[in-house]
Amino acid sequence: MDLFPYLQQSPLLVGFSDDGIRIIESVCVARQIDVGSPIFVEKMIGESAFLLVAGDVSISVEKNGAQRELAVLSAPDVFGEVSLLQPGPRRVTARARTPVGVIEIPRRDFLNLQKQRPQACIKLLMNVTD
């Protein structure tokens, strides 16, 4: 899968040049998730940000032993991006409502890229906080 067109449309990469997008693309991984499968669960350590390219994702929290849906995301939504800023437990669960395609930005790879291409990474982090 060519990730570049999806990254161009992502709100996470607004204001990026094509070269800047290619820099971020170098650490991205395309993933397919089956219906009902969790992308991440509440309280697990956040290790990646996700750019939704196809399908719908349910964001929910556990309340009184049951999952309470807070939102339904669709392309080109971004979720889990706070994990790029700081490690820590997830505050919500993200689960595929339909077959889902995501582009994952693993925190570990992003931090390594930050040493080599700090300007692109700082720009992405500024978009996270906007």
Q: What are the pLDDT digits (tens) for 18-29?
A: 999 999 999 999
Q: Against a cut of 0.85, is the pTM above it?
A: yes
H-helix or E-strand containing 50? strand 48-54
**How are the residues of the chain apportioned to helix, strand and coil, as percentages rounded to the nearest 5?**
35, 35, 30
pLDDT in tens, 52-107: 999 999 999 999 988 899 999 999 999 999 999 888 999 999 999 999 999 999 99
Confidence class for position 1, pLDDT limits 50, 70, 90: confident
Percent of the chain clearing pLDDT 90 (strictly above): 90
Gyration radius (Cα) of the chain, Å: 14
Q: How far apart are CA 14 and CA 16, in angstroms?
A: 6
Please give the pLDDT value at position 129: 84
DSSP 105: E
Please give the pLDDT value at position 130: 76
Please give the pLDDT value at position 109: 96
Encoded tokens for 125: 């982090």
